[in-house]
Amino acid sequence: MFELRGGSARVKDSLWAILQIAMAATTAYAIAYFLLGHPVPLLAVTVAISSLGLARDTRPDRVAATALAMTLGVGLSETLLLLFGAGSIQLLVAILLALLVARFISANPAFALTAAIQAVLVQLLQVPTGGVYARVLDGVIGGLVALLFTALLPRNPIKLARADAAQLFSIFKETLGDVRSVLLTPDVQLADGALDRIRKTQPLIDNWRASLESAISIGKISPFYRWAKQQIKDQLVLLEGMDLATRNLRVVVRRVDFLVRDLRPRPELAQLTAKFLIAVDLLESSLDDFSLSHKARKYLVKLAPELGVYPQLPLSEQVIVLQLRPLFVDLCQASGIDIEQAKDLLPSVD
């Protein structure tokens, strides 16, 4: 339940998000309390906090969806309260109505549950002073403030995307390094570990993709991230290539894991794998400066001729070379080389 390990890192990573939430909630409170005269603007604060949240994906449409769900639940329940008063039957109707309407509006289960919870709060909490639908107005204020802070004081989506990419590259290179090691000095346990590690990388790819999608959405409404459009576009190219490359690396590692069980070293394949490791390292360096991607492209063009036929190798090892060819094409795609051009670079194996 409690994970104290890594707590400092989590706080550091979430520090700006925490400050953003605190400032937004306080701003929503100040607007409702000082400008509108609402003595207890609970909904203004809670909607602002819940809409922003600590989740990594803070794209504006998701912030707006949370605010809408909360305000919808409040509005429906407020209307029932005005028409029929409070009571257990009214509570039942409020929950049912909030769930039905919210489910009709959105396919997201969390949307419906959020609306229902707010409907319950309106039914059970003491009616505040401030006029009819004061709590609805507070909810609207909280949602608008959350969107305003998303646009004007956004979390850094580029930094988050780079961090996600760096995690994937770290595991990708570690896996390639282990493959090279077991091909030089067979170690079944090390090969098993490399296979297990690369099989668990899909969440890293999903996180990277979600961060870039969030960056795209924030860039559309925030004047401070319009400069990042080209960088986001470059990262998307890199992501698509590395996504495919990771899938193909799983295939290669699985084959190597089976192959090295005879405990025979395979120095030719180890040398070839080391060259792939250099290419991936060059690709990673482009994360900080995409103008450096030309170095990766240049290196991959030089690597291509080495992925031809190796007649001196047994068939079981030639299969590894053939499996490295799709991985090569994926890395080319990640560097910005057209996929058909990348295939043309490969020597014929007929």
Q: Residue 77: which of 178, 200, 69 has the closest Cα?
A: 69
Residue 127 is predicted with a pLDDT of: 74
Residue 2 is predicted with a pLDDT of: 54
Interatomic CA distance for residues 148 and 20, integer angstroms: 11
**pTM for this structure?**
0.80
Mean of pLDDT over the chain: 91
Top pLDDT among 13 and 200 is at 200
Which range scores top for mean pLDDT: 82-91, 224-233, 335-344? 335-344
Q: What would the mean pLDDT of 43-65 be, rounded to a whole number?
A: 87
Q: What pLDDT band is residue 205 in, cutting at 50, 70 and 90?
A: very high
Tokens for 350? 């007929």
Q: What is the pLDDT of residues 118-157, one digit of tens each?
A: 999 888 887 776 666 899 999 999 999 999 999 888 887 7
Q: Which helix (H) or strand (E) holds 156?
A: none
Residue 226 is predicted with a pLDDT of: 73
Residue 217 is predicted with a pLDDT of: 86
Per DSSP, 39 falls in state S
Beta strands in the chain (DSSP E): none
Q: Residue 162: which of 289, 307, 280, 2 has the closest Cα?
A: 289
Q: What pLDDT band is residue 27 in, cutting at 50, 70 and 90?
A: very high
Per DSSP, 31 falls in state I
Top pLDDT among 12 and 259 is at 259
Per DSSP, 129 falls in state S
Q: What pLDDT band is residue 3 in, cutting at 50, 70 and 90?
A: low
Q: What is the pLDDT of residues 295-341, one digit of tens each?
A: 999 999 999 999 998 989 999 999 999 999 999 999 999 999 999 99
Q: Residue 71: which of 131, 125, 127, 139 has the closest Cα?
A: 139
Residue 237 is predicted with a pLDDT of: 94
Residue 245 is predicted with a pLDDT of: 98
SS3 90: helix
Interatomic CA distance for residues 11 and 72, integer angstroms: 32
User: Environment class of residue 212 by beta-carbon count within 10 Å: exposed (0-12), middle (13-18) or buried (19+)?
Assistant: buried
Q: Residue 32: pLDDT above 90?
A: yes
Q: Which residues neighbour 145 within 8 Å (Cβ) at sequence distance 6 or greater?
A: 24, 27, 28, 31, 44, 48
Q: Which of 120-124, 169-173, 221-225 has the lowest mean pLDDT?
A: 221-225
Residue 223 is predicted with a pLDDT of: 80
Residue 152 is predicted with a pLDDT of: 87
Q: What is the pLDDT of residues 226-278, one digit of tens each?
A: 777 888 889 999 999 999 999 999 999 999 999 999 999 999 999 999 999 99
